[in-house]
Amino acid sequence: MTDPLRPVVDGLAAVGMAPEGPPDPDGKTSGKRTYGPDFLTALFQNPLDPGYADAAARRAVDGPRTGTRRRLAASAAAVTLLVIGFLLVVAYRKTVDEAPARTQARDTLIGQIQNRRAETERLQSKADNLAGEVAALRESELGGAAVAQLRDLEAITGMAKVRGSGALVTLMDGPTSVNAVTGERRTEAQVKDTDLQLAANALWEAGAEAITINGQRLTATSRIRQAGEAILVDVRPVASPYQILAIGPSGLADDFRKGYAGQFFDLLTSRFGISFEAAKAKDVTLEAATDLKLRSAQPNVGPSAAVSGGPVPDTSVTEGGR
């Protein structure tokens, strides 16, 4: 097999730079290390030992460092350490000086968040009071069967709070791990927006009359979607554990657990460790939906007909408690 370094050695020999005599990697013969064509093998066999030997030999010949050389070396080391220490002190002082500003900015942001939250709660309370006044005036003007029909429609659409029994479905994220190669978090054990959509649809199909997810009432136009790792229900964030409370028939929890949604969540539990539970809920109250917008309206022609000859809604409490 041809040595790959043979052309290099031949080229050095052509210009008079090739080592004379046989290779001497240790430098014992000529006092100078020379290499043959198999340079890498010689380098691995004698990596650093000859260098240490050369330094020891020079020290033996030249003797120890004189006082001047020793002082110069010590002075250079001291100056280097002084510069490094100065840079560390400057960096530390800069960090300390900037800490109050960061703390003040953080405290300011926290204060703004708390003020906005308090203002939101105040406005929401005011809106609820105004909605109650509007409802009272409306009922005083309507009266009779029209009021009962209106209340029934409000309960169906989510505009009014309802009370009754049903089911409580709880979903909780499983344990998360980190990819050892990329450092990214694994999300297989996290509850997705599609999981909440599946649970809500299965409850509707099983006979639920009203549903909330972590207190957010679902309506015909509600949206459940993912935004990064957060789940939004009608633009409001919800977090694990996800409690899906529904009012409906007495067997709602059993029907949900035995149905396709319950089987799917059991599979997620066994594979990824997601927590799933479906239990009966008794005497619960679901609040009305917020931020409902009027999309269409038409005048009620002949209100007397609705009172005298129109159908009268059943105002008795159903199994779901409406």
In a domain, 267, yes or no: yes
Residues 283 and 166 reside in one and the same domain: yes
The pLDDT value given to residue 38: 61
Walk along the chain (322 residues) in steps of 10 and give the mean pLDDT of each run: 51 48 54 56 64 73 69 86 92 83 86 91 87 83 80 84 95 84 79 96 96 94 90 92 96 96 96 95 90 72 47 40 36
The pLDDT value given to residue 310: 39
The pLDDT value given to residue 17: 45
Burial class (CB in 10 A: 0-12, 13-18, 19+), 38: middle
Cis previous bond, 311, omega within 30 = no
The pLDDT value given to residue 317: 38
Could you read off the pLDDT of 91-144 as tens digits, one per residue?
Answer: 888 888 887 888 888 888 999 999 998 998 899 889 888 888 888 888 888 777
Side-by-side strand order, sheet with 236-238 = 224-227, 230-233, 236-238
Q: Which residues pair with 233 in a beta bridge?
A: 224, 236
- How many domains would you assign to the chain? 3
In a domain, 305, yes or no: no
Three-state SS string across 135-194, please?
Answer: HHHHHHHHCCHHHHHHHHHHHHHCCCCEEEEEEEEEEECCCCCECCCCCCECCCCCCCHH
Question: Could you tell me the CATH number of the domain that includes residue 245?
Answer: 3.30.70.1880
Residues 90 and 133 reside in one and the same domain: yes
**Within 10 Å of residue 267's Cβ, how many Cβ atoms?**
12
In a domain, 308, yes or no: no
Residues 165 and 281 reside in one and the same domain: yes
Residues 121 and 226 reside in one and the same domain: no
Percentage above 70 pLDDT, the chain: 75
Can you give the residue range of the structural domain that contains 248? 161-176+186-290
The pLDDT value given to residue 56: 74
